[in-house]
Amino acid sequence: MTSRFHLCCRRSLAVLVLILLTTLGRFAAGETPEEILAHVPTVPTPLLRERLVSKYVVILLSKYHYHPQNITPAISAEWFAEYFNSLDFNRTLFLESDLEDFRSFESVLWDQRTMTANLDFPFKVYQRYLERARQRALFSIAAIANAHDFSAPETMTADAKDLPWCKTVAELENLWRQQVKNALLVNRLQEEKDDAKKKKAAEKIDVGGAAKNGNDDAPAAPAEPAPAPETTPFPERLAKNYARNYLRRAEVEAINILEIYLTALTRVLDPHSAYMAPETKENFDINMRLSLEGIGATLSTKDAYTVIVGIVPGGPADRDGRLKEGDRITAVAQEAQEPVDVIEMPLNKVVAKIRGPKGTTVHLTILEEGSSTPTLVSLVRDEVKLTDQEAQSETRQLTLPGAGPANVLIIYLPSFYADFAARAKGDPDYKSSARDVRKLIEKAMADQQPPDGIILDLRGNGGGALDEAVELAGLFIPTGPVVQVRDSSGKIDRKEDTNPVVTFAGPLVVMVDKLSASASEIVAAALQDYGRAIIVGDASTHGKGTVQSVINLANVRALSHATSRMPDPEPGSLKITISKFYRINGSSTQVKGVTADINFASFLDQLDLGEEKLPHVLPWDQIQPLEYEAVNETAKALPGLLEASQKRRQENPLFREYQKDIDFYANFRADKQLPLELNERRQHQEDEDKTVRMFRKFQAQRKNARKRNTVRTDDGDSEDIDVADAQDLILEETVNIMADYIRARQ
């Protein structure tokens, strides 16, 4: 290691440590940044377990992945690049010369002759990674105490993952300086906002006290989670975070490095496959078992962030209303504790920090989708009851010009669920989404005024049990195929509706959005292909048309025999993509999803959501269509319905405002530069807050259009939104489309 970067950093190390000692105070329990950074970066040595796990993970991928491939030199080169990207997604640690130093490994990460993976490469690269992380921490902590000119015109790139690697030390150090300056600037603006909130709260107390004297019987406000304490000055907390981030990377076992390395390979094949080390698999299992407890959110990893990918209906996050898909969690704090930075922390460790006993409070610092300003969201952990996720319905009574009254049944289905345990025991009345929807329809049909049309709202429905999707589609069609599932060998399994009973045969509209995925897409696609339903909503659905399975490596005979003789034998698991969904017309739902027959502009289309936004996605393709008897109820009416809907939206001032908000949101997100000048950043933050309010306004309207609910405003206060004040624009226009459709069918 004789590169110029190494020599430069050795010379400056003593100076940087001296600055740390003279500019920063001591922290709790005698833990100082300089003491943390005294840890010399070393990596563990891969042993027999790591060698065997890497061998059999590659073998399993080459045999059982949906698109099995041998590790050719070209695949090896992609694996090489993905490993560097996994370690340093935002191009803030490695130099271009670092990649060149390891270029000899690029095409030889797998030896086909000996069936072994090259483990020298990942561990040597991780050693360099630790050295760079330590150098960054030392530089950044020293930079905290420097004078930063917030009046100078300067910007930084918010997302550098697509930029080239830095060529020089000076380029890297400039990035580090900008990141420190940005953190200090964000904190300064946050303190301004906090001071304004305190002033506003004091004014409310004065006014509220006078009001209370006149009404002693007024109900007390509901208790809210206590805010996370921040007793340590921000510069000291920032310094400790830099040091701890380095230490977290340094305190790693060989199996954890292997996890990053092998998952880099699985990502080359597709974004949903992954190798899970034993600890990750354990947390994965716990998360699955306790999926209905905690904050009620589904988490995943994107770049260096833990990202919200789903909100469980009825859970604490759903009731609170502030978290949404795409939000990034940057820090987690427990009750009476300071926040812990979780950027670049493994997902299983973040999940462990968020998970906790019912009734306790967790404080999440988040960056909302499209925002660079942190927001604190405090949630009381709670149990999510199954009833909160069940299908619900309401009936709208319409007056059709020239045709008299009509009833529309709106069914809201947030997920495809089933009580598998009760079903396995033979319980004839086990809970299931398809059964619940059928019961809602049958109850409505038994009324004196049965529904003339049904709207099935699958917006935000991320999927669930495949059998439930098939059964649900079968409520609206005669017998016939619903979906095709193709495995890696080319074998195709067709899932069919075998029940000849059609629960409802009248006009049907299905609502979808960018968050409708998997089973939702199967239902929408089948009903569209049969010509049985008109699909309305976002331009297309999520586009996840793949199926994953988890292989416990302990069950691989050759691996289990060898690891049984080791002191730490647990080999972990492989999550692997094994099959793909296809519509009955032969088209895959992968990437393209389901295209709406009548689409609306959407905030979700402006976000990095959808399968097509992921790297290394399996492509869209087609297979042989099935023979099925289409009913073709929609084709004749659709052109007229589309024309009438477009005309209404053009004339509706609320839709014009909605489109204007989306355009503003899209233009703001297109700018990837963050101003580091104080006044420009204030304006940027105001615009940022404006975009967040736009997004939340529509989400709140949609969420509260059916019921009175309590949501939180942007300043953290609670307020009631009444039914009269909340309007789901997309649903209201869908009801209008249904009214037109009923008339067209009469």
Give the whole-angstrom CA distance, residue 732 versus residue 705: 10
* 132 Cβ contact list (under 8 Å, min separation 6): 88, 93, 94, 98
Helices (H) and strands (E) in the chain, counts: 21, 25
Residue 249 Cα distances to 4, 143, 244, 716, angstroms = 24, 21, 9, 35
Q: How many CA atoms lie within 13 A of 73 on its CB side?
A: 4
The answer to whether the CB of 102 falls within 8 A of the CB of 214 is: no
Max Cα-Cα span within the chain: 87
Q: From the CB of residue 390, how many other CB atoms can be counted at a distance below 10 Å? A: 20
Closest residue by Cα to residue 273 from 57, 559, 570, 122: 57
Give the whole-angstrom CA distance, residue 702 versus residue 368: 19
Q: From the CB of residue 164, how many other CB atoms can be counted at a distance below 10 Å? A: 8
Catalytic member of 529, 538, 597, 740 = 529
Identify the DSSP state of 587: B
Q: Return the SS3 of 98.
A: helix
723-730: long-range contacts at Cβ-Cβ below 8 A with a sequence spacing of 24 or more?
726/700, 726/701, 727/654, 727/701, 728/701, 728/702, 729/654, 729/655, 729/658, 729/698, 729/701, 730/459, 730/511, 730/536, 730/537, 730/600, 730/702
Q: End-to-end CA distance of the chain, in Å?
A: 80
Catalytic member of 518, 540, 573, 602 = 518
Closest residue by Cα to residue 270 from 423, 65, 133: 65
CA angle 146, 152, 158 (to 5 degrees): 85
Give the whole-angstrom CA distance, residue 596 versus residue 557: 48
- In angstroms and rounded to an integer, the radius of gyration of the C-alpha atoms of the chain is 28
| Torsion angle in degrees (nearest 10) through CA of 410, 415, 421, 425 | 30
What's the per-residue H, E or C state across 32-77? Answer: CHHHHCCCCCCCCCCCHHHHHHHHHHHHHHHHHCCCCCCCCHHHHH
Active site residue 149: no
Active site residue 529: yes
Closest residue by Cα to residue 697 from 667, 655, 728: 728
Closest residue by Cα to residue 122 from 6, 265, 251: 265
397-405: long-range contacts at Cβ-Cβ below 8 A with a sequence spacing of 24 or more?
397/449, 398/735, 398/739, 398/742, 400/739, 400/742, 400/743, 402/743, 403/742, 403/743, 403/746, 405/449
Catalytic member of 544, 575, 592, 703 = 544
Active site residue 560: no
User: Which residues belong to the active site?
Assistant: 518, 529, 544
